[in-house]
Chain A
């Protein structure tokens, strides 16, 4: 059948493996970056953030890396679990407004 909307890139990862999700941003003025997780039918859920004066930040099982030179952001999830299956969005913030990326569908397989 016909599909509607953008086709999200999909990352398939085995349970227990590490996941790396990448994101490129375009606004050089962005000073704050956030990763969100969105499960089906729910709103975006905050995972981790990083300011532009940092290049790495770690949370519980998650690490965000920021490369301002190439305007690239990545999210690393350690020991991926079935509950990590969701769509992941990066967002850049400038003057309080968020600009979201297209999202990556993460599918965790047993």
Chain B
């Protein structure tokens, strides 16, 4: 099962500030996903990214959000102007295998907006 590293593990930011969350898979993947989990709630889909383009996004993923693959390996989620309600755990995920179609999740970034 491939590993996925996310940085930072915890970020505290002031409302209105920009944050960049990073995801680094061990091996190259064309597909990436970002999910969000507000404390105590279920995991929610944000966006899927295939071959350097957004393939699907949810209603949560508004104009304040963007995703990039700046150097071919890192995969970033940017929130341009954070709001209090953006406080959550953010997970990136990659699919693996051809038989299982499972998803490996990173350990997450806890974003706290104050």
Who on chain A is nearest to B92 by CB? Answer: A43
Q: What residues of B have a CB within 8 angstroms of the CB of A7 in the complex?
A: 40
- Closest-by-CB residue of A relative to B102 is A46
Contact A100 B108, beta carbon cutoff 8 Å:
no
Number of B residues with CB within 8 Å of any CB on chain A: 29
DSSP majority for the B interface? strand
B62 to chain A, nearest CB (A): 18
Partner of A42, one of B1, B41, B45, B107: B107
A102 is an interface residue with CB less than 8 A from chain B: yes
What separation, in Å, do the CA atoms of A47 and B66 have in the docked complex?
30
Q: How far is the CB of A103 from chain B (nearest CB, A)?
A: 6
Q: Does A42 contact B44, Cβ atoms closer than 8 Å? A: no
Minimum CB–CB distance for B80 against chain A, Å: 24
User: Does B105 count as interface, using CB distance less than 8 angstroms?
Assistant: yes
Tell me how many residue pairs across A and B have CB atoms closer than 8 Å.
Answer: 66
Are A43 and B42 in contact, CB atoms less than 8 angstroms apart? Answer: no
Which residues of the partner chain B approach A32 to less than 8 Å between Cβ atoms? Answer: 101
B61 within 8 A of A: no
CB atoms of A6 and B101 under 8 A apart: no
Q: Check: A63 CB closer than 8 A to any chain B CB.
A: no
Q: Is B48 an interface residue (CB 8 A)?
A: yes
* Interface of chain B residues 17 through 40 with chain A (CB within 8 A): 31, 33, 35, 38-40
Residue of A nearest to B43 (CB): A100
Q: Is B65 an interface residue (CB 8 A)?
A: no
Subset of 25 A-B contacts with CB under 8 Å? A4-B40, A6-B41, A6-B42, A32-B101, A34-B103, A41-B108, A42-B108, A43-B107, A45-B105, A46-B103, A49-B100, A49-B101, A89-B43, A93-B101, A95-B56, A97-B45, A97-B48, A98-B33, A98-B35, A98-B45, A98-B93, A98-B103, A100-B44, A101-B42, A103-B42
Given A96-B95, A98-B45: 8 more A-B contacts, CB < 8 Å:
A3-B40, A4-B40, A41-B108, A44-B43, A46-B1, A89-B42, A97-B56, A98-B93
Q: Which residues of A contact B (CB under 8 A)?
A: 3-8, 32, 34, 36, 41-46, 49, 89, 91, 93, 95-103
